[in-house]
Chains A and B, each alone.
Chain A
């Protein structure tokens, strides 16, 4: 069945002979003693060359069944040494005692592999235990490796191992975030990777090896030739035969053809600026140069490249002819690659792969005719969310989607004036305006690498504490650069950005006013503190309970909140006033399933309770300018507020008064999010929806079809300003940018749009139900790269502002020419392109959208 690999002896070069018994998912490899006289079994030495921890085998679909282990490269010492690839579960290794375990750890921590090292680490040959999935196989018995680097939707990369015998070994999943070798900063000079989780694949901060599987491949390379299949980029053939080489080097497209298209097309600077690190890009081998020459097309031979620049097309030919030729060749490609994909699956060589495929994909094997990629998705259904979607992302995205989209983009990229009308609808207004008016493409101005530091901050003030720069200047700097996390600069600056401290005054004046605020805080707090008739009132009891349960589960990984009370006997009878009026509610003292509290959690709760009274005071005495026409309500404590307050408490290094007044300012910006009738949230999501409709009509239509226009999957993002979507330190960086109100008071909506745009391709292609989009968006949490997202948000804002300006200009032109206006209204325009263009494309800008251009409060 399988092509002979006659060029190399198969397991006949050592004392190891293998008999492989394959049952469903496990492979048992029995080692039998060989007749080879040169080495006796007693003298067999196995040298550990490479080891990597936290490589998992997943026997079932449930994460709880995953088995952690070590993957290892082992050399059997002999005249003709054999190299073995092994996987040993942690449990098996720990059975052998700590000595053996330490060897694996030691080798893993070692950066350089040195076979001749004097302190060679000898180990027992890992035993074969099918029931524990352990294996060790000579490299010569491996036929191919199925390599899947980590993606956004699948955090952990994996490698499947197919043996020459046709059987497969359990797929190895690389949990790099848990593994020493990938998290040790000393091993590689990794910059900025401490917060990167999952390991960043962006090219700017790409470490020498981006994930554990790639590392393993590079370790295998000295011992085996790994040929990457061009048919299926995730397939690596180990020591390929000639037949293998022929079968797997057919040029369908070069690895970087897709990227070339992206760079070539309007995509790169278009209205959906997907950051480079999110674009589909096949795993590139670490040795191969990935950078291409400036003008690579001339020497490309792949079909895709030839289609991109067909030799017959010269610039003098008419545009439409050129486009037709392009369209033609792209559709050929799309079809060709689909068949190619299908052929791979049906090919005998692929047989070892088939068991690894998710069911919907497996069903394609032997299917003929045109393939409906969409139907795979439907077959996958909710239950197979992971497998089917992710698999499709890997295959279909590269093969079909790019071909289709590139074709569409090429069609759009060369509008001649006579073609404009027919191309309006798929383009969307935004791109239309860009392509016709030649507006400069906006670019991001942020420079987060150089945050504002203490030195610069000090320079901004005169000796009397009066600032030498304007507050706008200061905020502009913060928007572009952020604030250094070192020291306590944030604690100094945040109160200014938020407006707790006044800017244009001397420090004396400022201190005086701050003293007033401090006193005011305690005045408000004293309304409940030490006043049993208030503190124990039933409505306050309920409020205390709500606050307490949430504070106990907010940011508990922060050092201030992570410890429990040393004195566990918290109850009213201890007599001390500060314990008596702790906000811990009687229902949930430190017993039961609630996590225990501590003094900081308690103070945080106290601040939130005090805010209740401050807010009440506000409601009674001042008519708030924030909400027009609605009677101001007292929101009280609402879930989410603890998320907004806790980071303030941490940054203000537990200063109660500062935290309180910063929180007051944050709530001035955000209290509409917490109204009882949710009108504020609805308004924000409505605005976001309108923003999508003008900026990305395709996405808008897709959301319409999937019942997703309510944008509830953005609810958490907006309600608490992405608090749950980023690691704590990133949240601080994001918030200070948002608070500057530099471009827009609602910049958070542009951040939300930026995140959606980064994932629009996945959403458009694969997510066909509201619940799927919700799940997908919820799971983006902690995977979003902050700086590229902010850069995108900025570009989106600038594009939006241009769009608005342009629409206004056209409107003005339109009204000045009333004749045209009449014709258009009747829909009988004969003046051709321009009239129908404005008729079709001119969106109405709602007040909500116009308000997005308001900056500064």
Chain B
């Protein structure tokens, strides 16, 4: 049987390390000279989540915001969105808000409030003195957006990358299961009404 496909989108400013993170996760490789991503590409990796074999399809997109108008073709059907910033670049952190909003608009998931995001603060291998974003600040933001899981990573030194994507996979799988409900019952209002009725009968 074909393993379940989980679609994951990586977003963030240009140069924060999206391609590097994807390659580190899928191929355990790092190269400091990945070219700027033009358009979009993806890699797939099979992983086991809670004893289930799933295929993660990880989409890497261009980081300059003007290319996001193409996003709708790529974001549709996403099961999880990974927001990446560079801990040494505060602007890239401040832009996470935009990335998140833009994703929700274009992907238009059924339940935007509960759609799973994961935030990665990348490039923690860089000297601490250059750090521009404190953990406290990030955690506060993540909390305000519905307790988004947060990891500090280094794609270069393979720190926390597998761990982060394990959470991505788990949350994506959960999301996929919930989306499935909508597919089976296309009209959510219908479900509510029916369940209300059935409760009524039981009482």
Contacts and interface: CB of A to CB of B under 8 A. Distances in A.
A381 B40 contact: no
A770 B73 contact: yes
B28 interface: yes
Given A383-B2, A715-B39, A639 B62 contact: yes
A24 to B, nearest CB: 19
Contact of A546 (B30, B34, B40, B64): B64
B156 interface: yes
A588 B13 CA distance: 14
A64 B36 contact: no
Contacts of A554: 35-36
Given A64-B27, A592-B126, A593-B20, A774 B32 contact: no
Given A381-B5, A591-B127, A678 B66 contact: yes
Contacts of B134: none
Nearest to A713: B39
A640 interface: yes
Contact of A550 (B36, B69, B74, B126): B36
Contacts of A674: 66
B63 interface: yes
Interface stretch (A12-20, A277-285, A664-672, A716-724): A716-724
Interface in B39-71: 39-42, 44, 46, 55, 57, 62-64, 66-67, 69-70
A477 interface: no
B161 interface: no
Interface string B130-159: 101000000000000000000000111000
A710 interface: yes
A713 B73 CA distance: 11
Interface in B94-131: 123, 125-127, 130
B40 to A, nearest CB: 7
B181 interface: no
A770 B42 CA distance: 12
A542 B73 CA distance: 28
A593 B126 contact: yes
Given A588-B15, A592-B125, A593-B32, A774 B40 contact: yes
A545 B154 CA distance: 20
Contacts of A587: 86, 88-89, 130, 132
A677 B20 contact: no
A642 interface: yes
Interface string A755-777: 00000000000000011001100
Contacts of B36: 549-550, 553-554, 639-640, 642-643
Nearest to B68: A678
Interface in A514-564: 542, 545-546, 549-550, 553-554, 556
A546 B15 CA distance: 8
Given A546-B14, A593-B126, A720-B38, A771 B57 contact: yes
Contacts of A549: 14-15, 36
A474 to B, nearest CB: 32
A557 B21 CA distance: 22
Contact of B41 (A64, A676, A710, A774): A774
Given A588-B15, A677-B69, A595 B64 contact: no
Given A381-B5, A592-B123, A638-B64, A553 B39 contact: no
A225 interface: no
B188 interface: no
Contacts of A778: 39, 41
Contacts of A775: 41-42
A379 interface: yes
A587 B130 CA distance: 8
Contacts of A550: 14-15, 36
A594 B32 contact: yes
B202 interface: no
B128 to A, nearest CB: 11
A64 B57 contact: no
A771 B42 contact: yes
A238 to B, nearest CB: 36
A303 to B, nearest CB: 36
A382 B43 CA distance: 10
Contact of A383 (B14, B55, B69, B132): B55
Contacts of B39: 712-713, 715-716, 719, 778
A63 interface: yes
Given A64-B28, A591-B127, A771-B42, A382 B70 contact: no
A749 B117 CA distance: 38
Contacts of A676: 66
A775 B57 CA distance: 11
Contacts of B41: 774-775, 778
Contact of A719 (B38, B55, B125): B38
B12 interface: no
A542 B91 contact: yes
A391 interface: no
A339 interface: no
Contacts of B155: 593
A496 interface: no
A251 to B, nearest CB: 38
Contacts of B29: 64
Nearest to B34: A553
B158 to A, nearest CB: 12
Nearest to A594: B32
Given A383-B46, A595-B32, A678 B67 contact: yes
B15 A382 contact: no
A385 interface: yes
Contact of B3 (A383, A542, A716): A383
Q: Which of B3, B40, B125 has the most CB of A within 10 A?
A: B40
A379 B123 contact: no
Given A553-B34, A591-B126, A595-B32, A379 B40 contact: no
Contact of A678 (B3, B32, B70): B70
Contacts of A771: 42, 57
A723 B173 CA distance: 38
Contacts of A592: 88, 123, 125-127, 130, 156
Contacts of A381: 2-3, 5, 55
Q: From B5, B39, B86, B130, name the one whose CB has the most chain A CB atoms within 10 angstroms.
A: B39
Given A379-B2, A383-B3, A676-B66, A716 B46 contact: no
Contacts of A595: 32-33
A593 B67 contact: no
Given A379-B2, A546-B14, A385 B44 contact: yes
A63 to B, nearest CB: 7
Contacts of A639: 14, 36, 38, 62-64, 67
A585 to B, nearest CB: 9
A593 B14 contact: no
A678 B27 contact: no
A144 B42 CA distance: 38
A419 to B, nearest CB: 41
Closest 9 CB pairs of A and B: A549-B15, A592-B126, A715-B39, A381-B2, A593-B156, A716-B39, A716-B38, A383-B55, A595-B32
15 contacts: A64-B28, A383-B5, A545-B15, A545-B91, A553-B33, A587-B132, A592-B123, A593-B17, A593-B123, A593-B156, A594-B15, A639-B63, A639-B67, A676-B66, A774-B40
Given A550-B36, A715-B70, 19 more contacts: A379-B2, A381-B2, A382-B57, A554-B36, A592-B125, A593-B32, A593-B123, A593-B156, A639-B14, A639-B63, A643-B38, A676-B66, A677-B69, A712-B39, A712-B70, A716-B39, A719-B39, A720-B38, A724-B38
